[in-house]
Amino acid sequence: MRTLLCGGTLALADGAKQGDLLLEDGKIARVGGEIDAPDAQRVDATGCIVLPGAIDTHTHFDLPVSGTVTADDFASGTRAAVLGGTTVVLDFATQEKGHTLAEAFEVWQHKLGRGISCDVGFHMAVTDWNERTSREIDAMTALGVTSYKFYLAYPALMVEDDAIYEALVRLKQAGVIAGFHCENGRLVAALTRQLLASGLTSCRAHPLSRPPEVEAEAIDRLLHIAALAGAPVNIVHLSSKAGLEAVRRARARGQRVFVETCPQYLTMDDAVYAREDGAKFVCSPPLRKAEDCAALWEALANGEIDTIGTDHCSFRYDVQKSGKADFTQIPNGMPGVEHRLALMMTEGVKAGRISLAQLVQMLCENPAKLFGLYPQKGALLPGADADVVLWDPSLRHTITAESQAQRLDYTPLEGVSVCGGVRAVWVRGKCAVDDGKWLGHNLGRYVARTKPIFQEN
Ligand code: MN
Ligand code: MN
């Protein structure tokens, strides 16, 4: 099967270039110039941008959380992803305390069972680091799990400093990478007790229970432990200027630190917690001040941030609002997998804050390299998987709960207008989205990843 995208603007690593793109047997066959392929199905890409399929480095589909479960499972989550131009999501298989990584992997593989619309890989979230866990790392690499995640917050998930150190030494030896949720969980607990005791129980208290200092302290501590272990690390969902400054200090010491941020930390601030429906925005880390957003945009423009994931973790508003009287009862998380590319195109590229080439680096190429998918994915290269997005800058859309594919009764982006939209998407050469509509095929697969590509210092 051959598809020829004609006359579009190709988003290549070294900049945008006018030209054709030929997809053949699931791979990108030829890139650029005028391509003659009379037997191929022709798609007129005039006026459109042709992008590599975007990679979402951070989703939580079908995640059980304190008595409830996320609204999106892998079927609805990957459908929303592909409609928004994302062709790979990296979700988190989560080890339960007392269980093995192999058991976690099997549980999460099973969740893909009902069909997925884009490719899915798993980071492994480790909650119980011990000798047995350490011995499982090579088996996980063989299964295509080459990145890990540790939590410095949440009592049920968090790991202590000695475990972090030992894990980093082991993961470095295995040539794989670890990401960290950086908030000091014990400080959060103390601040929360103080707020509740003083009668501050509404979601206005949520950001006060997890201020920037809580993130910055955790990043500082983690990066000192990483320095001792001599290991590179990835900071997930960086939200604050204070946290960014902690990263800068470690980089100035010569450490290799990767950073992910999320669209919500760039485009929303903590004023929303004073709203009647503030529970919709309860996520951790919380939304920050406008000056934090500005610092993160500047860091994106400077190349200090490597990847943009969504931390998509969706709970219905009717579930979240049941915790309105006590903010600690609101399940933490926001949706986002569907609108990342549109938001970053609008608020980033169209607004002149970042270039199209930077966007492609942060949404496609950097995630592919850091998470062992390059050059199979992440760039328009001959031989790569034909994961391709046709982006039409002339489209206009206002985001509403009604019109979204995310399986939810609200969107935090209600009424937000975006410039441009996804016209079509191919997943390994097969058309998944045409004229902005999902074609109903489950084209996704579990994707086994190789080791990350990064330069040792
Ligand atoms: Mn997190
Ligand atoms: Mn997360």
pLDDT tens for 202-213 read 999 999 999 999
Q: Which ligand is nearest to the CA of 154?
A: 1
Q: Which ligand is nearest to the CA of 91?
A: 2
pLDDT at 282 over 70: yes
pLDDT at 456 over 80: no
Ligand 2 centre distance from Cα of residue 232 (Å): 20
Ligand 1 centre distance from Cα of residue 63 (Å): 13
pLDDT band at 420 (very low <50, low <70, confident <90, very high): very high
Q: What pLDDT was estimated at residue 196?
A: 97
Q: What pLDDT was estimated at residue 252?
A: 98
CA distances from 400 to 264, 376, 403, 415 (A): 16, 34, 5, 6
Ligand 1 centre distance from Cα of residue 43 (Å): 40
Ligand 1 centre distance from Cα of residue 284 (Å): 6
Q: Which two tokens stand for residue 301?
A: 């423009």
Q: Which ligand is nearest to the CA of 150?
A: 1
C-beta neighbour count of 441 within 10 angstroms: 14
Q: Which ligand is nearest to the CA of 309?
A: 2
Residue whose pair of structure tokens reads 């975007």 in the numeric block:
54
Q: Which two tokens stand for residue 269?
A: 């601030």
In the chain, % of residues over pLDDT 70: 99
Residue whose pair of structure tokens reads 């590319």 in the numeric block:
341
State the average pLDDT over residues 135-149: 98
Ligand 2 centre distance from Cα of residue 59 (Å): 7
Ligand 2 centre distance from Cα of residue 58 (Å): 6
CA distances from 384 to 24, 293, 372 (A): 11, 35, 13
Pairing of strands 64-65, 15-24: unpaired
Measured between alpha carbons, how far is 442 from 445 in angstroms, rounded to an integer?
A: 9
Ligand 1 centre distance from Cα of residue 333 (Å): 9
Ligand 2 centre distance from Cα of residue 333 (Å): 8
Nearest 10 degrees: CA dihedral of 378, 382, 385, 390? 70
pLDDT at 197 over 90: yes
Ligand 1 centre distance from Cα of residue 92 (Å): 10
pLDDT at 22 over 60: yes
State the average pLDDT over residues 249-261: 98
Ligand 2 centre distance from Cα of residue 245 (Å): 21
Q: What pLDDT was estimated at residue 49?
A: 98
Ligand 1 centre distance from Cα of residue 269 (Å): 18
Work out the widest C-alpha separation in the chain, in whole angstroms: 73
Q: What pLDDT was estimated at residue 50?
A: 98
State the average pLDDT over residues 48-63: 98
Ligand 2 centre distance from Cα of residue 91 (Å): 9
pLDDT band at 342 (very low <50, low <70, confident <90, very high): very high
pTM here?
A: 0.98
Ligand 1 centre distance from Cα of residue 237 (Å): 7
Ligand 1 centre distance from Cα of residue 179 (Å): 10
pLDDT at 457 over 50: no
Q: What pLDDT was estimated at residue 356?
A: 97
Ligand 1 centre distance from Cα of residue 410 (Å): 21
Measured between alpha carbons, how far is 420 from 393 in angstroms, rounded to an integer?
A: 4
Q: What pLDDT was estimated at residue 376?
A: 98
Ligand 2 centre distance from Cα of residue 47 (Å): 36
Ligand 2 centre distance from Cα of residue 3 (Å): 36
Ligand 2 centre distance from Cα of residue 236 (Å): 8
Q: What pLDDT was estimated at residue 1?
A: 86
Question: What average pLDDT does the structure give for the chain?
Answer: 97
State the average pLDDT over residues 90-118: 96
pLDDT at 109 over 60: yes
Ligand 1 centre distance from Cα of residue 434 (Å): 33
pLDDT band at 455 (very low <50, low <70, confident <90, very high): low
Q: Could you list the beta-strand ranges (E) of 54-210.
A: 54-59, 64-65, 68-69, 86-94, 119-125, 147-151, 177-181
Q: Which ligand is nearest to the CA of 60?
A: 2
